């Protein structure tokens, strides 16, 4: 029998715990059938496959800091609810097709209901966080609320920056622009806050939590770049989104920014012409043209290198700054997880 | 010089206070121009005209219960932020054109950005409520958070019920259906919670707060019915929305439910045929046909009578159940406000 990778095992267990916690928290029964239908829609994204990476990070850091994993479970689950409402709204905003292997919520139920389902889960996220007051006491509960507020401010700003680029047809972007957007849109909620909160629940100081800002930034951007790479080269079955969907959507990725800065002017104009077309107006041939140029200029490899470099930075920083933490299952798993972020194929 | 109505004066003062509080709370400066632009969009709805009715109710009940109006200001302002993000999302969901006399946010900036601006204000609402911990202490702050969670659950359910009717082309609705939807979608956030929270901040018991459930239900539905009536007979300049916009949107109002239950079968089929058409496909003549039938069957008068009856119930309940509260400016103003809700022309 092949040995089970301990990180795989932990991620699987975490998924089960988090999913159970969320499904127990979400409402089920209602006398009106319309409301029962809303409840079903609220369970749709939470029931889909997914890595539950953010809760896993939060739980591991809590345990690595000597905290009790059970105390962080509710907050970790709220990170997953955050992901659910963000994805529902993002999928509408980006006109995405597939999410976690199934049609996006707005394609199943229409944009109006999908917006409202996102709002419903957003409200439930805060309600879940408020319940921390009973289990963790007022002070930590408020500290966590304040962390979530900070995080939400970052996410909506990052999302707005990206939407601005789309709406203004902006393509003259630098890697620094990408970095700013990606830190705000992805790194905060994927890594920085999950680490910070895990540490705080375990009783760490704010100074400890602050040390995760750089680590989480590097790891979060590494995660996003790997996501963009998988979007171009992944298998649809594992990845769960449409392959090269980012080209269809006209998304500004590091791969694309590298391509535009490396190719000839004629090629750049051609790429922009294709990228600026609406999803429906892009032919398969045009999408393949862009992919071919990305190959020609080794833009995907470049992005993979950057992703590796950033994850390596995160690993070095974590190892150095938290050398004083005793060796533990959680500390080892978190180190493994840093590598998983860039090695994953889904 | 004409005498200034004390309620008008109070509403005007409240508007100034609330608007100042919100604008001071929302972020202003940012180094990136895209983010400054997001901040501008976040101020858009809060800067538009409007009655600030929900904050006013909260402040008056707080004062009527012997509380300090200043202690309720932050929470009252959060009720207005709630209204702002709800309206931004509702306007997309209902495909509305005008809001408070100006084009809806999604018509100015597109649906993707408008969804995100709504989310940004939603997050700011909770952040504002969290700051109650500093000024009111943990316990009341959490009590208010829990009231808001309850309210949000009601609003998204009410909204979903209404969206279901639209999406299923459902017209065989009873007054009881309308009542359920309207209590959940409107009465909770317009009247029930503002009253409850005002009382709780003043130190009232939960039992006191519970007495507002019936009062707020009656007053909230009265408010919505009057809103539906104004939509049909109001002046666009004062009302701030497109006149008969509810007919264009195919909205299920008490007026319409009365019409369908009063008219002949042939007329009903004609009304439903018109109402079911998309906004763009409805001609001005068809909208006037529906309005004419509403006149023929006195459906608008019927709704006005119902609105009056409900407001009168709210007044009687308030007077009876809170007879023990000492006479005060706030108590008198709240009684006046009950009548204002159905007498208003905007």
ipTM: 0.96
* B295 pLDDT above the threshold of 80: yes
Contact status, residue B27 vs residue B39, Cβ threshold 8 Å: yes
Give the pLDDT confidence of A28-40 residue by residue, as tens digits: 999 999 999 999 9
* A329 pLDDT above the threshold of 60: yes
* B40 pLDDT above the threshold of 90: yes
> How would you class A28 by CB atoms within 10 Å of its CB: exposed for 0-12, middle for 13-18, buried for 19 or more?
exposed
From residue B81, alpha-carbon distances to A206, A337, B173 in Å are 30, 39, 32
CA–CA min distance B316, chain A (Å) = 31
Name residue, tokens 């206070």.
B17
DSSP secondary structure string for all residues of A111-156 = HHHHHHHHHHHHHHHHHHHHTHHHHH-HHHHHHHHHHHHHHHHHHH
Give the pLDDT confidence of A267-300 residue by residue, as tens digits: 999 999 999 998 889 999 999 999 999 999 999 9
Q: State the pLDDT at residue A142.
A: 96
Is residue B1 very low, low, confident or very high in pLDDT (cuts 50, 70, 90)? low
Which residues in chain A are contacts of B112 at CB distance < 8 A? 92-94, 163, 166-167
Mean pLDDT of the B326-345 span: 92
- Name the closest residue on chain B to residue A143, using Cα atoms: B130
Task: For residue A89, give the nearest of B38, B119, B159 by CB distance.
Answer: B119
Q: Kindly give the residue spans of alpha helices, DSSP state H, lying in chain B.
A: 6-25, 33-47, 53-64, 69-93, 105-109, 111-130, 132-136, 138-167, 175-182, 193-201, 206-210, 212-233, 236-239, 245-249, 254-262, 265-276, 284-296, 299-321, 329-343
Which residues in chain A are contacts of B93 at CB distance < 8 A? 111-113, 115-116
Contact status, residue A75 vs residue A81, Cβ threshold 8 Å: no
Q: State the pLDDT at residue A345.
A: 75
Q: How many CB atoms lie within 10 A of CB A5?
A: 12
Any idea how long chain A is? 346
CB-based contact A112 B122, cutoff 8 Å: no
Give the pLDDT confidence of B101-131 residue by residue, as tens digits: 899 999 999 999 999 999 999 999 999 999 9
C-alpha span between B82 and B87 (Å, rounded) = 8
Q: In DSSP terms, which residues pair with B102 in a beta bridge?
A: B99
Contact status, residue A232 vs residue A298, Cβ threshold 8 Å: no
Is residue A60 very low, low, confident or very high in pLDDT (cuts 50, 70, 90)? very high
Q: What is the DSSP letter of A281?
A: G
| Distinct helix (H) and strand (E) counts, chain A | 19, 2
Give the pLDDT confidence of B57-81 residue by residue, as tens digits: 999 999 999 999 999 999 999 999 9
CB-based contact A89 B122, cutoff 8 Å: no
Is residue A118 very low, low, confident or very high in pLDDT (cuts 50, 70, 90)? very high
Q: State the pLDDT at residue B130.
A: 97
Query: Among A90, A158, A163, which would you mutate to test the B interface (most chain B Cβ atoms within 10 Å of its Cβ)?
Result: A163
Task: For residue B160, give the nearest of A116, A139, A159 by CB distance.
Answer: A116
C-alpha span between A289 and A291 (Å, rounded) = 5
CB-based contact A163 B112, cutoff 8 Å: yes
Mean pLDDT of the B162-173 span: 94
Q: Kindly give the residue spans of alpha helices, DSSP state H, lying in B168-298.
A: 175-182, 193-201, 206-210, 212-233, 236-239, 245-249, 254-262, 265-276, 284-296
Q: Say which residues have a Cβ less than 8 Å from residue B66's Cβ, sequence separation at least 6.
A: B202, B203, B326
pLDDT averaged over chain B?
94
Which residues in chain B are contacts of A119 at CB distance < 8 A? 89, 122, 152, 156
Its pTM stands at: 0.96
CB-based contact A110 B167, cutoff 8 Å: yes
CA–CA min distance B149, chain A (Å) = 6
CB-based contact A119 B115, cutoff 8 Å: no
Task: For residue A130, give the nearest of B35, B117, B149 by CB distance.
Answer: B149
Q: Which helix (H) or strand (E) element contains residue B98?
A: strand B98-99
Q: State the pLDDT at residue A144.
A: 98
CB-based contact B35 A160, cutoff 8 Å: yes
Give the pLDDT confidence of A163-209 residue by residue, as tens digits: 999 999 999 999 999 999 999 999 999 999 999 999 999 999 999 99
Is residue B244 very low, low, confident or very high in pLDDT (cuts 50, 70, 90)? confident
| Backbone dihedral angles phi then psi of residue A138, each to the nearest 5 degrees | -60, -45
Task: For residue A142, give the nearest of B27, B120, B133 by CB distance.
Answer: B133
Contact status, residue B341 vs residue B311, Cβ threshold 8 Å: yes
Which residues in chain A are contacts of B141 at CB distance < 8 A? 142
- Name the closest residue on chain A to residue B110, using Cα atoms: A167
* B151 pLDDT above the threshold of 90: yes
Q: Say which residues have a Cβ less than 8 Å from residue A9's Cβ, sequence separation at least 6.
A: none
Mean pLDDT of the B283-292 span: 93
């Amino acid at each position: 029998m092949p040995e089970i990778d301990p990180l795989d095992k932990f991620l699987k267990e975490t998924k089960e715990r988090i999913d159970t916690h969320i499904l127990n928290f979400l409402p089920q029964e209602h006398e009106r059938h319309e409301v029962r239908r809303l409840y079903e829609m609220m369970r749709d994204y939470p029931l889909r496959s997914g890595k539950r990476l953010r809760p896993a990070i939060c739980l591991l850091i809590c345990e690595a800091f000597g905290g009790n994993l059970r105390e962080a479970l509710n907050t970790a689950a709220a990170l997953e609810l955050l992901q659910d409402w963000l994805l529902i709204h993002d999928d509408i905003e980006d006109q995405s097709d597939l999410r976690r292997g199934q049609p996006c919520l707005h394609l199943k139920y229409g944009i109006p209901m999908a917006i409202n389902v996102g709002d419903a889960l957003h409200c439930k996220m805060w309600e879940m966080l408020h319940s921390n007051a009973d289990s963790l006491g007022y002070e930590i509960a408020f500290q966590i609320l304040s962390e979530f507020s900070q995080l939400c401010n970052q996410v909506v700003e990052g999302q707005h920056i990206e939407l601005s680029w789309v709406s203004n047809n902006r393509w003259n972007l630098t890697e620094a622009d990408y970095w700013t957007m990606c830190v705000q849109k992805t790194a905060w909620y994927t890594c920085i806050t999950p680490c910070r909160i895990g540490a705080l629940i375990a009783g760490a100081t704010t100074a400890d939590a602050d040390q995760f800002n750089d680590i989480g930034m590097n790891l979060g951007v590494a995660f996003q770049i790997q996501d963009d790479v998988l979007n171009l080269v992944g298998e649809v079955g594992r990845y769960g989104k449409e392959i090269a969907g980012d080209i269809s959507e006209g998304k500004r990725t590091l791969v694309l920014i590298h391509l535009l800065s490396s190719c000839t002017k004629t090629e750049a104009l051609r790429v922009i012409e294709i990228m600026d077309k609406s999803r429906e107006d892009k032919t398969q041939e045009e999408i393949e043209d862009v992919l071919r140029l990305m190959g020609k200029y080794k833009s995907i490899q470049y992005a993979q290198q950057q992703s590796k470099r950033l994850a390596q930075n995160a690993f070095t920083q974590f190892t150095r700054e938290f050398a004083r933490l005793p060796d533990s299952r959680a500390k080892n798993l978190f180190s493994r997880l840093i590598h998983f972020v860039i090695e994953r194929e889904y």
